[in-house]
Amino acid sequence: MEKTRPILYGVADYAEIRRANAWFVDRTAKIRDLETTRYAVFLRPRRFGKSLLTAILEAYYDVRYSDRFDEFFAGTDIGAKPTDERGKYLVLKFDFSAVSKDAQEVQASFNKYAADCCDAFVMNYADDLPSGLPEAVLKEPMAGDKFNKIALRMKNSGKKLYVIIDEYDNFTNTILAESGVTAYNALCHGDGFFKNFFARLKAATSGTEAPVTRLFVTGVSPVTMDDVTSGFNIGTNISLRPQFADLTGFRHDDLRAMADYYAPRCGFDADRAYDAAITWYDNYRFGSASAPSVANTTLVLYFFEQLVNAKVWPNDMVDENLRTDYAKIRHLVTMDRRLNGNFHVLENLLAGGTLEEPIIKSFQAKTLSKKENFTSLLYWLGITTITGSDFELTRFGIPNETLKHLAATMIPDAYSDIYKIDERMFDINKELVAFARRGEWNGFMGILTGIVRENFAVRDAVEGEKVVQSTLVALLTAAKGPYLVSHEREAGGGFYDLALAPRLDRWPDIAHAALIEMKYVKAGDPVPTPEQLAKIKSEAIDQLDQYSSDPALVAKWHSAPVGVVGVPPVEVAASAALPRVTLHRLVLVFHGGDCVLAEEV
């Protein structure tokens, strides 16, 4: 058998990937589509393969690599039929993730980094540039002046300049999150140095024989671009165009091919790996609900690298690097130690709701308090994705388990910032493990209902039911137990409230699972009498009977609840390798924030 192709997780060096014959999904056919737009802005969530894309464009267009074309592109789509522009450009590339994210240091750091890029450019292309230009550029101390000299002298020179900017909003997003709007505005408004940089760049794209013939900018959200350019007048935002919906990311056929290739070579089950990749990393749609579903590139590589190299299933399906990225945006849901309107939007999502707003392609940081802008920001950040549409409105929902976990974590994080409850997350995890082993559910339920009561006491009771639902979902999810926490999922012709679905793919010895039916009585109504509680409980049992007898649920969880009619035993025995899971059916009744009934039925 040939040598197994390596997986280079976190590597954005295209030359290294090709030299190593590492796993690579060929999207080079899209280069032809990209050439239809001279000045392009392409936005995708973090860890979605944007940096590798810029490396591919550099390798394809840079005149310095023209004699290495076969090395880089043999066997690819574009290698078989290249465009006329391949290998015809002098490439000036910036990666702004290298700029300091400290508000006190950022200007000096930006100038030094951008100046170094300009210096490297004139030294690399010294033989291709007008006489005396390299020396003139090297003498200038400021990056803006260096770029101006390059742009002015290259005009009418007959040379084509391709500017590539990767991670254009990396440091600005961090400064906005950690240092606030005032520090951020100093960069992007008025005479801010970053705004000035884009003004010079725009000038270099204008006029007869403009030196910047092509421009490709990547980033996460349109916020900074709008702030520094007053809209996308520096380029065309191609992010929502159908032909670029899968420019980055892994499609289902890519995931299937990867699982089928590595499974027999590395000793894991291909179907389990494929299903896990879909569940945890897939279901992003960019542009419209009809766009192809794609998975996060880096997260897929993280998962398969663990299976292939470490020979183990990851203990944590959420890449710690992504967790760190999303931790930076906690400021979006709290302000001055108070929950803001954005928090309630996120809370509604976790309580099973969806968001319906138009996709906003351009908005400034100062307008993030507007619900429609915050909704679109969640989409650009990858916290939500497109799930449907209703005329001019787009429907958004959380795409996968990874983002549900990260979004859920924001809620207890916000509670921690304001109510100081984070120390109990470990206790919930510990009690969930006890439940998985021995079916002891009172432990985690007691902690959860106590936190619900505390949280509800300082919240607006108008949205009381949503507060209870989202608190339960968020805390169970963020506690990182051995379960997938699902909410409002279809089973038996209805939709159950809450489930602790056993992660048998990772821990096949889980012995217990739970379906939870939650009933709510408004805080302003009288406390339910024993007779009323008995009636509510009876209705809940009927619903749980319906859900727990669903053959698909029984087969997936390998469960057979006692006393439920209609459970086909053949489904339970679908896999002799997995033990039967005991399904616990729990009824919770809340009166406001107080749990007045918690029973197994």
Q: What is the pLDDT of residues 282-322, one digit of tens each?
A: 999 999 999 999 999 999 999 999 999 888 888 889 888 88
The token duo for 307 is 């299976």
Q: How many other CB atoms are found less than 10 A from the CB of residue 501?
A: 19
Whole-number percent of the chain with pLDDT over 90: 59
Task: Take residue 488 and report the two structure tokens written for it.
Answer: 């409002």
Name the pairing type of β-strands 594-600 and 90-95.
unpaired
Output phi, psi for 155, to 5 deg.
Answer: -60, 135
Domain boundaries, the chain: 26-244, 252-326, 421-601
| Exposed / middle / buried, residue 350 (Cβ in 10 Å: 0-12, 13-18, 19+) | buried
Share of the chain above pLDDT 70, in %: 90
CA distance 597 to 521: 11
Amino acid code (one letter) for 424: R
Of 70-74, 409-413, 432-436, 506-510, which gets the smallest average pLDDT? 409-413
- Check whether 336 has a pLDDT greater than 70: no
Of the two residues 470 and 333, the one the predictor is more confident about is 470
Q: What is the pLDDT of residue 574?
A: 40
8 Å CB contact between 540 and 587: yes
Q: 580's torsion region: left (phi>0), alpha (psi -120 to 50) or beta?
A: beta
Least confident of 59-63, 230-234, 306-310, 471-475: 230-234
pLDDT at position 573 is 38
pLDDT in tens, 381-439: 998 999 998 877 899 999 999 988 888 877 766 666 655 555 678 899 999 999 999 99
Residues forming beta bridges with residue 178, ordered by sequence position: none
- Identify the band that residue 570 occupies on the pLDDT scale cut at 50, 70 and 90: very low
CA-based diameter of the chain, in Å? 94
Report the first-to-last Cα separation within the chain, whole angstroms.
55
- The reported pTM is 0.86
- Amino acid letter for position 235: G
| Tokens describing residue 589 | 């009744």
Is residue 6 classed exposed, middle or buried when 0-12, 13-18 and 19+ CB atoms within 10 A define those classes?
A: middle
pLDDT band at 564 (very low <50, low <70, confident <90, very high): very low
What is the token pair recorded at 68?
Answer: 């290495």
Task: Look up residue 89 and give its amino acid.
Answer: Y
Q: Name the nearest CA neighbour of 194 among 138, 259, 113, 133.
A: 113
Mean pLDDT score of the chain: 88
Mean per-residue pLDDT, 590-597: 94
pLDDT confidence of residue 572: 36
What does the alpha-carbon distance between residue 169 and residue 464 come to, in Å, rounded to a whole number?
38
Least confident segment among 11-25, 308-322, 401-415, 472-486: 401-415
Question: How much is the pLDDT for 368?
Answer: 80
Q: In what helix (H) or strand (E) does residue 218 lie, and over which residues does it extend?
A: strand 212-219
- Give the pLDDT band (50/70/90) at residue 347: confident
Is 80 exceeded by the pLDDT of residue 344?
A: no
- For residues 60-67, average pLDDT: 97
The token pair that represents 215 in the structure block: 């421009």
For residue 304, what pLDDT is reported? 96
Give domain 26-244's CATH architecture: 3-Layer(aba) Sandwich (3.40)
Evaluate if residue 135 carries a pLDDT over 80: yes
Model confidence at 566, in pLDDT bands (50, 70, 90)? very low
| H helix runs in 267-366, sequence order | 270-281, 297-305, 320-327, 341-350
Q: Which amino acid is at 161?
A: L
Q: How would DSSP label each residue in 8-44?
A: -TT---HHHHHHTT------TTHHHHHTT-SEEEEE-
Q: In terms of pLDDT, which residue wins out, 568 or 205?
A: 205
Please say if the pLDDT value at position 587 is more than 90.
yes
Residue 173 above 80 pLDDT? Answer: yes
pLDDT at 569 over 70: no
Which stretches of 479-550 are DSSP H helices? 530-548
* Mean pLDDT value across residues 467-484: 87
